[in-house]
Amino acid sequence: MTAYQRLRDELRRIDFAAEHRWLGEEVARLLRYHQWLVRTALQLAFAVTDNPRREPMRRRLTGLGAPAARLAVLHRWVAERVTDVDGSS
């Protein structure tokens, strides 16, 4: 199981209030994208057979880009609002 899959499993266990369900859905979507991106990049990097479609696909992968930036924005949004994550305060 990948780290992204474990994160998505943990995310599913969180009971979001109705007004914050969008957050869980968006984070899950971004994690799926990152998981796909890493898997695709590894497949392209370690492919052992020639395929004429591989090089154009490799060029289309431009990094984490906007999805990573959006994940960082969501992280800051949550960090500004959460004061007691582990129950110790």
Angle made by CA atoms 54, 4, 50, in degrees to the nearest 5: 15
pLDDT of residue 79: 87
CA distances from 62 to 9, 56, 59, 75, 84 (A): 27, 12, 7, 22, 37
Spatial separation of the C-alpha atoms in residues 57 and 22, rounded to whole Å: 31
Cβ 4 vs Cβ 31: under 8 Å: yes
Mean pLDDT for each 10-residue chunk of the chain (89 residues)?
84 90 92 88 85 82 81 89 63
What ranges do the domains of the chain cover? 3-81
Reported pTM: 0.71
Pairwise CA distance, residues 58 & 9, whole Å: 29
pLDDT at 87: 56
Q: What is the pLDDT of residue 84?
A: 62
| Rg of the chain taking only CA atoms, in angstroms | 17
Residues shown for the chain: 89
Residue 89: predicted pLDDT:
45
